[in-house]
Structures are given as structure tokens and as C-alpha cells.
Amino acid sequence: MSRRTLLWWGVSLLVLATALGAVVVFVYPQSPGFDRWWNEMIAAARADWMLDFALALNWIGGGWVAILGVPLLAILALVLARRWRGAVFAAVSFLASAGAVQLLKTLFGRARPDDMLVVSDYGSFPSGHTANAATIALVLWVLFPRVWVAIVGALWVLAMALSRTFLSVHWATDTLGGALVGAGVVLVLAAWLLPWVQRKKHALDAPIG
């Protein structure tokens, strides 16, 4: 995929996420009918296994685990694999994605569902958990562009998004917005950094002997 294509897709996803936030906050301040329908449907169908699954992902995808643990593990794994440029790309992506999420949360200040089952921070749109999941998935896909990486990444993002609505801590459109932000940030950064990440060592840098 060319740099221009990566940039086009990345910017488009970020614009779409911002437009979605504007619509659900300013056009439908009481939340769109789809969001309320989904929240009520999940609440009525919620089972114990759903809660156990959602609580596990709530711990993995939030707090110090998501902010420090998972990113540091990913960065360390890339460093150990002698992919230090990839590690830098991953670190920048994690920081930029978290910053974009907080910016949109502050900009829109959307109220969370009234029946949420866990305590969470200010601003419902976009979902930080889902954005973080999308960031991880896209970073891995950019660095290791394999079909199975894309499939596993998509399933991970979907699982995280569903878990947020299982706990009624986010509206469905919040999770969509989070996925768009996480993916968009990584693609924009890939358009800028990927040639550098993929640069091969100069012959003079190769070990002698």
C-alpha cells in the first residue's frame, strides 16, 4: 500500500470519527435510536459469561495495563526481535492514539449510559478501550502484513467493542468511533514513518566477518 493511500485512509477514518462524534452529540444529544436499542437489547440478553468476558477485557484494555503494560510488552517484544524502528513506530502510535482519544473526549463530552456497570472516566465518545485495541491491531498489521494478523486483529477489536457495550459503559457508536480513531492514527503515522521503519541496514552497518 502506497504512502498516499495510507494517508488518505488514515485521514478519512479520523474525519469520519470526528463527524460521527458531532452527529451523536450535537444532532442527537439524547443518543440515536440505534444506540438506545442496542443498549436495551444487550441489557435484556446479558448473561454471566458476558459479564465475566467483559470484565476481563475491561481490565486488559484499561488502566495501567492498557496505558503501560500492553504497549511496553509490545515495544519490548519488537526490540528483542531486533525491530527497534518498529518499536519506535509502535510507541509513537500508542501515544498519538491516546492523545487523539482524550482530545475528542474533551471536545464532545458525551454522557455515558445511565446503567453502566463499571466506573469510568469523563467522556463516552470515543471508546478508549476500543481505540487502544484498534491501535494494537493496526500496528501489528502494518509491521506484519499477513492475512491471519488482520483477522486476529479485527476479532480483537470486535471483542473489545462488544465488551464495552456488555458493561453499558459505552454506546455502540462510541466503540465505532474508537475503532476509527485507533486505526486512523496508525495509518496516518504509517504514511509518514513506514519507509523509515522498513529501511534496510546500510552495508557499512552490517557485521564484519
Q: Quick: pLDDT tens for 45-104.
A: 888 898 999 999 988 877 666 667 777 888 888 888 888 899 999 999 999 999 999 999
Map out the domains of the chain as residue ranges: 3-199
What is the reported pLDDT for 208? 36
Q: In this predicted model, what pLDDT tens digit does every residue of 138-175 receive, in sequence order?
A: 999 999 999 999 999 999 999 999 999 999 999 999 99
For 209, the 3-state DSSP assignment is coil
Average pLDDT of every residue of the chain: 89
Q: Is 207 a residue whose pLDDT tops 50? A: no
Q: Angle CA(148)–CA(1)–CA(185) in degrees, nearest 5?
A: 80
Which of 123, 128, 129 is CA-nearest to residue 99? Answer: 128
* DSSP code at position 205: G
pLDDT band, very low/low/confident/very high, at 13 (cuts 50, 70, 90): very high
Tell me how far CA of residue 145 lies from CA of 60, 123, 148, 180, 182, in angstroms.
Answer: 24, 33, 9, 19, 17
Indicate the pTM of the whole model. 0.89
Q: Are 145 and 162 in contact (CB under 8 A)?
A: no
